[in-house]
Structure 1
Amino acid sequence: MDLLHRLFNLASSVADLHTTFFLFFPIWFHLRKDTALRLIWVAVIGDWLNLVLKWVLFGERPYWWVHETRFYGNDPVPALKQFPITCETGPGSKVYSRLHNLCLSFGFVTCSDLHYKVLQGTSINTSLCVRFLQMGLCAVMGLVLLIVCMSRVYMAAHFPHQVIAGILTGILVAEVVSQLKSIYSASLNYYILTTVFLTSFAVGFYLLLKAMGVDLLWTMERAQKWCVHPEWVHLDTAPFASLLRNMGTLAGLGLGLHSPLYTDTKKRGYAFRIGCITIALVLLYVLDGWTFSPDNHMTFYSLSFGKSTLAILISTTLVPWALYKVFAIQKEDKKS
């Protein structure tokens, strides 16, 4: 049972958006830039849609629902085991599941890339090999998704129907957003306007519902009341923390791609790209250790925005620029 717990805990952690921004994106950006752009856009748009619709659906989470419902009457309430990642504070409705992260990163994106190579194949043998690789990759992804689904239910964070709905809508959003050609050549103004619009819409929608008497922070009270360990309730799982992180990521991508320091690593060799990936991952690991006090919510949200922006800038601009300068200096030294 302990092994099962570790497996499910690992699966939930890997499928989190945090892993997308701090691990998957730096790797994909320096190997296949278009794939990395799709990854960020699908993650941000999907999670934003998830946030907005969560406020309407009022989804429950198992770990507090069993204590609040009248379903069991006088019968004993099921004893659900809780874990450090169980006590998420947002509504439980997964209109757009975190599972899209894995779907896009290693499933739909890579499978579609391989499918393109099949169509462009120079021989039947090459096409067959790529097709088998595509089928094998998709089969592995299916198994991984199954484990992640089971982990979300096992951790008492979601009901089975929420996980299934999350997968279906996650696939739909990933497919729709991936088809938008504008995301591959978006200008800085496009990124800024999109960030401002998404943020303004979410905040405006929140204020509108609040003015109508809807308590959108009801889940915070439930989480604090029924989580067996108060220290497991973190502000970074709150809706606005998620919103500001995602908006910081999108803003950082726009600033990074259009910075005067930006260096397109596609024109560089694999040694340069691998160096960028390695250094970026190390710096992001260090940055990830930067935590903030949740005492002041506005400060916490602002710093979360800044941290997410910096994380993307490290991968897209700062590391490639610094490494390029180092190589340029070395070349000048050799010539002299």
Structure 2
Amino acid sequence: MELDMDTLHSTGVYIIKYLQENFINSQDWFVFVSIAADLKNTFLIFFPIWFHLCESVGIKLIWVAVIGDWLNLIFKWILFGQRPYWWVHETLFYVNSSPPTIHQFPVTCETGPGSPSGHAMGCSAVYYVMASAVISLVLQNQATFKSRFQRWILWTFFWVVQINVCLSRVFVAAHFPHQVIAGVFSGMLVSEIFNHIQCIYNASVKRYMYTSLFLCSFALGFFLLLRAFGVDLLWTLEKAKRWCAQPEWIHIDTTPFAGLFRNIGVFLGLGLALDTQMYRNSCREKKGEDITFRLCCILTSLPVLHMFDSFQLSDNMEMLYYFLSFCKSVAVSLTTVAIVPYCVFQLLNWKEKKVL
């Protein structure tokens, strides 16, 4: 089994080396794609756009992104996947020869296990939701030649995005090819499952709280249980620190618990926001159906959330960083769903009264 995995990993390293040698001129593009495919962009860009265009799609995006990334974390802890940038230095596969030289980049030094790829899984899950939404809302599942051609264009775009994300993660030596492939299909599976779950659209704030508590307690419980049996689930941190080419490329927000608390913050924030009077007084009022109101909410939310993202949290104290990251994520959902729509609603009402 170990020999089979070494063979698979060595083949992956060969592919990485081939990409880095033959597509070095595309380096900036691949680095950009890796950054763009980060799940936080779903919360900061896609979620506010879709929530105000079609609330149900925005809600589904959060459920799929958060549950999918939580499953990704559990899978990574179970599978103990290696990452190319450290495996190539530690393996005995090249004991009789020199190991291949693969380059690292600022986005290479992820600190969690490698399988399945979180970028690939999150990106495929989110884009699958958005593609399905476009088909349902715009194309309306029509059987005409024009609609079939449009669906073909849409799914071609979907696969172009996934291929670029996979190539990007392999090019920067953050993942082996089999890890990104597993990530893509795992993400699509999570999205397809949520296509058949309707209860998320009218979930109460209690359900959001209980689900958040379950996700957090299960992950922490699983971590502590395995640790009690002598299994260190943070074994990758030491490898990242040892083999990352530049210490400043290691970021605390790539650690498993950073992603967990960030996602739960966004998820819980959505539940709290949907239960506020501000949300009911704005999005649930008649003006909430007005396209001008919706566009104003989108155009206001995006720069405000960008400002949130620009606030850099101190990583000197790990637990404090996780807490502040959680609070910041709660604020993202509250701002998008409740605060911005309420302010826009009041402003538009004031302008209408002024005109009258």
> Normalising by the residue count of structure 1, what TM-score does the alignment of the two structures yield?
0.93
Q: Which of residues 288, 292, 307 is equivalent to 2:328?
A: 307
CA contact (8 A) 1:246 1:308 kept: yes
Gaps of 5+ in 2: 1-22
Per-residue deviation, 1:329: 1.5
- 1:333 shift after superposition: 2.1
Corresponding residue for 2:249?
232
1:332 shift after superposition: 2.1
Q: Distance in 1 between matches of 2:118 and 2:103?
A: 22
Tell me, in whole angstroms, the C-alpha distance in 2 between the residues paired with 1:110 and 1:293. Answer: 37
Paired position in structure 2 for 1:22:
44
Q: Deviations over 1:34-91 (max 9, x none)?
A: 1111111111001101112211211100000011111100411211110111000000
Q: Does 1:12 align with 2:29?
A: no
Residues 111 and 137 of structure 1 are in contact (CA less than 8 Å); yes or no, is this contact kept in structure 2? no
Q: What fraction of aligned residue pairs are identical, expressed as a percent?
A: 45
Matches within 5 A, 1:249-260: 249-260=266-277
String of CA shifts for 1:240-283, please: whole Å, max 9, x gaps: 00100010010011011111110227833222211111111101
Does the C-alpha gap of structure 1 residues 91 and 101 become closer, same or farther in structure 2, counting only changes over 3 Å? closer
Change (3 A) 1:269 1:100: farther
Partner AA of 2:107 in structure 1: I
**Deviation at 1:182?**
0.9
CA distance in 1, matches of 2:146, 2:125: 22
Q: RMSD of the alignment, in Å?
A: 1.8
Provide the residue aligned with 2:99 in structure 1.
77
In the aligned structure 2, how far is the partner of 1:145 from the partner of 1:97? 12
Give the secondary-structure state (helix, strand or coil) at the position aligned to 2:278.
Answer: coil
| 2:119–2:165 CA contact under 8 A, matched in 1 | no
Deviates more, 1:260-269 or 1:310-319: 260-269
Distance 2:86 2:293 in 1: 50
Equivalent residues of 2:62, 2:267 under 8 A apart: yes
Residues 1:101 and 1:219: Cα distance change in structure 2 (over 3 Å): closer
1:61-100 correspondence runs (5 A): 61-94=83-116, 97-100=118-121
Residue of structure 2 aligned with 1:45, choices 58, 64, 67: 67
CA distance in structure 2 between the aligned counterparts of 1:268 and 1:116, rounded to whole angstroms: 16
Please, which runs of 5 or more residues in structure 1 have no aligned partner?
A: none
- Show the counterpart of 1:317: 338
Correspondence list, 1:94-173, <5 A = 94=116, 97-111=118-132, 113-115=134-136, 127-173=144-190
1:101: Cα distance to partner?
A: 3.8
Asked if 2 retains the 8 angstrom alpha-carbon contact of 1:115 and 1:134, the reply is no
Q: Does the 8 Å CA contact 1:97/1:170 hold for their aligned counterparts?
A: no
* Number of aligned residue pairs: 330
CA distance in 2, matches of 1:288, 1:200: 27
The aligned residue for residue 314 of structure 2 is: 293
